[in-house]
Structures are given as C-alpha cells and as structure tokens.
Amino acid sequence: MRILVIGGDGYLGWPTALHLSQRGHEVAILDNLVRRSYDHELGADTLIPIPSIHERVRLWHQLTGHHIQLYIGDLCDYTFFEPAFKGFAPDAVVHFGEQRSAPYSMIDRRHATYTQTNNVVGTLNLLYAIAEHAPDCHLVKLGTMGEYGTPNIDIEEGYITITHNGRTDTLPFPKQPGSFYHLSKVHDSHNIMFACRIWGIRATDLNQGVVYGVETDATNLDPRLLTRFDYDAVFGTALNRFIVQAVCGVPLTVYGQGGQTRGFLDIRDTLACVELALLNPADRGEFRVFNQFTEQFNVLQLAELVKHAAAAHGINAQIEHLENPRVEKESHYYNAKHQKLIDLGLQPHYLSDTLIDSVMHIVNNHKHLVRHDTIMPSVRWRATQSPTHS
C-alpha cells in the first residue's frame, strides 16, 4: 500500500513509518516538526538524542534501501496539505499529527486553544482531502482511551447498546475526557464519525492506552534510529518518569494516592495494531473503534514495579506521594474491553517481560543528559499559570 504517516517525526509516528516501510509498503511522512519546538519552549528534551528527520530518513535508506518520502509542512495549512495529499495519493493514512499532551493543553488559555485548533482543524482538513481526492482511502486515526474517562461501568469498544423507555439503540459510548487535549480527541472522533456517515469514507479510531518502550525491530538497526524518550512532567509518561527517577537516585513521584488506573501497551504492539487495522480496513461508510491496549495498571503499581526492577540493579528506589496537580478520580472502577484487535491476531507483549529492565539500561546510558528541573509537575488543572506561559 501507499501509506501516508502524518506526524512521522514523533514518538510513535517515526517507528510506525519504519515498520511499514520495512514491511514493503510505500511510505511518506508528513510533519511540521513542531514537536521539537515544544521542547525548546519548555526547556525539556528527549533523553535519547534524535537526529533531524532528514538525517533519519537518509540513514534508513542507506541501511535498508527503502525510501521514505518527506513532506515538511503543516496539516492545518490546506494550501500546503491538499497538493501534498493529492501528489502522494495514499491508499491509507495513519494520523498521529496532533498535540498529544494533556498537561500542555492545560497550561493556560493559549495552550488550550492551540491544542484544540491544531488537532481539530488538522483532522478536518484530512477528512476533506480524503472525501474530495481519495474516497477509498482508509483513515487510521490515533485516538485515546482518555476519551472515555473513568465511568463506573465497563468501557465498551466505541459503542454501547442501551434500552431507554422500552426502546433499544446502539450509540457512541459516553465520553468524559479529563483535559482540553482529551476533549480535542473527542471532537475528532465525532467529526470522523460524521464524515463516514455523510461522505461514505472508511475510518478506524484507535483509542490507545499509554505506550511504553523505545525499541522496535527497525529502530534497533542503528542507535540513531531510536525514537524519543520523554520523561518531563508535561510530555513524559509516569512510567518513564519513574524509571528516570530511579536511575538518578531520587524518589518516584506518585501523584496523589496513585490509584489512577489506565490501559498500557508496548510500543511494538502499537505498530502491530496499526498494521492490523491497515491490513483489515473498515468498510466504506464505517466508523469503527478499537480499544488499543493490553494491560491495566494504576500509577502506584507502576511505581512498585519500577522499584522492584531497580532493586535488581542495586538501586534502593523510594516512593513519594505528591499533591495531585490534576483534577481526576484517584480511586475508581476501571474495566475496559479490548478484544477486537486480539480477534484480528494481535499477540501482545507484556510489561513483565523485562521491559522495565531494558529501558532502565537505556536510561542509565543517558542519565548524564537528564534535566532534573523538568521532572516535577509545573502545570495545575485548577491554578492560574504564571504570566510566562500566557
């Protein structure tokens, strides 16, 4: 297939592009490289240094003979995006090209409006391009399990059948997003579902859990092909932060009680899920939803797992509870269905399979690059932020 990966310079977009190229697909990356500018704004950086996208693509071609085409520009700029889309003429689009940090979206009004404008308008531009120029193209869109929130009932895969006043219907599962970022993803899902219904396009919404890991078969060909590793309080995950804190000999900072439960998956499973969706496309007019994760953990469980792994490396890691900067339930019911990708053939990797040990080794090799002042929470859901962010 001809596959356009939007956001192909990012944490997931880059290894996805390599994986699909390695599998023999004709791949193009479209990216405005703004993710790197967020680091400059926040004074943060990926722990694993990454070359420019042009260097990475050249290296990939030298190592494998596979060519990845580059389109450098903004999805929100239709005068750029439309000719690029028409020129590549994709059979499928994998859409990662959004601002993906909940804390970033909650810094202040400017960051909230930027997040929603960037994410929603970009996806609308893509929907129009597909409808007008490639109506058979399959859209595989990265959503998030965060769209659902933490309801006191089981989370279904996208839809729920309800009976009300004696009548029954199947409707989109209720959404309770926890940040302006997650709200943008809800808006995306509604817009994509609407476009499928009125224009007959085909789309798969991958409501993904938290991803961990940096190594894949393709990125392991050369250290310069590794993807980002974010550990700061704005873009880093709790698991990444805990591993960095353990290696650096500082307490593991659990927000609140640590009972916040989410779905998780290995980065290799992200690649497998995207490929399974591409190889088994939605029908014309179908908006289907897959819940994309393999295991559930709460934050305190993650900290305990890292503490145990650190002990095997001779590190006596300690856990410290901080006041939670977010507005969220810290103790709640959480049981989400995730069967559809298993039915398509996903063979999961699990966190217990030495993943923490392997990542800890990578972090240890780069610990001299850790920026300690970026780890502690700097964004609060309720408080007004400092004028420097306005």
Residue 385 CA to chain centroid, in angstroms?
25
Catalytic residue selected from 38, 104, 148, 181? 181
Q: Is 388 a catalytic site residue?
A: no
Q: Is 181 a catalytic site residue?
A: yes
Letter string b/e over residues 113-141, b meaning 16 or more CB atoms within 10 A of that residue's CB: ebbbebbbebbbbbbbbbbeebeebbbbb
Q: Are strands 261-266 and 295-298 parallel, antiparallel or unpaired?
A: antiparallel
Catalytic residue selected from 185, 212, 227, 261? 185
SS3 assignment for the chain: CEEEEECCCCCCHHHHHHHHHHCCCEEEEEECCHHHHHHHHHCCCCCCCCCCHHHHHHHHHHHHCCCEEEEECCCCCHHHHHHHHHHHCCCEEEECCCCCCHHHHCCCHHHHHHHHHHHHHHHHHHHHHHHHHCCCCEEEEEEEHHHCCCCCCCECCCEEEEEECCEEEEEECCCCCCCHHHHHHHHHHHHHHHHHHHHCCEEEEEEECEEECCCCCCHHHCHHHCCCCCCCCCCCCHHHHHHHHHHHCCCEEEECCCCCEEEEEEHHHHHHHHHHHHHCCCCCCCEEEEEECCEEEEHHHHHHHHHHHHHHCCCCCCEEEECCCCCCCCCCCCCECCCHHHHHCCCCCCCCCCHHHHHHHHHHHCHHHCCHHHCCCCCCCCCCCCHHHC
Q: If we measure between CA atoms, which residue out of 9, 186, 204 comes closest to residue 93?
A: 204
Residue 150 CA to chain centroid, in angstroms?
19
Q: Is 175 a catalytic site residue?
A: no
Catalytic residue selected from 46, 115, 144, 150? 144
Active site residues: 144, 181, 185
